[in-house]
Structure 1
Amino acid sequence: MGSLISETKGFTSDSAKVYVMVEQINKRSLGKLIVKVVGHEGCKNAKVEQVLRRQIQTCITHIDNYSQDTWADARVTFLGMDGSAYVIQSGDGKKRFIVRLDARDKIKFVDFQKLSKS
């Protein structure tokens, strides 16, 4: 995964199905996460995997909305339809984001710092 520091497959202490540490979260590391957990674009995927791909792509579209410093110390959790969690983290993961489906099955990108300020 680019500048991969460590990786743990299976369930970890925070219940992540896949937990990946990178030096910095960026479009490239997120693209590699897609290939790792969902497969290449041409792969046939179940609905759960299709949604996960869209969730990671949603995060990719939000990368440019934040400074590079943000992504050097961030943690993004993708909550799958099946209840599984996929986590990518850089640094200590001080800035927290979550990507999930809402009640209408729309993908939501949630920035916890903005939530706490409101």
Structure 2
Amino acid sequence: MAPLLDDDGAISESFEKCLKRIFVKYCTPKPDASGDLPPNACLNSAGLDAWAKDTNGSPFSEDTKEEILQFMDITDEGNLTFKGFLQVYQLQTENDEEETWRDLSKHGFDRSLDFGKEAN
């Protein structure tokens, strides 16, 4: 099993790559051919709902959205940045690593953080 957090408790490099792949699926604007995230890439309300639906089966409640947008990194327009997305998963993984593994599985990652393989 690949580590989600490093020895310092930060998101591991391999976990961050997985999260970037997930974020790209829902963010606006999309990366260009280089694959680099545009500096203004974010999850707007529709992107946040789509990510939540694919991850949890339904969009977030308004209360949950407000909480995420209040405590995580957002744009001036109130959209979740990639940094904020990482913060969501940092917090979740610190509190319930199994929930993070379930999320990753729903997005096609196995416990080695390989994409497109059946989860164990």
Structure 1 or 2: more helix by fraction: 2
Taking structure 1 as the reference length, the TM-score comes to 0.29
Structure 1 or 2: more strand by fraction: 1
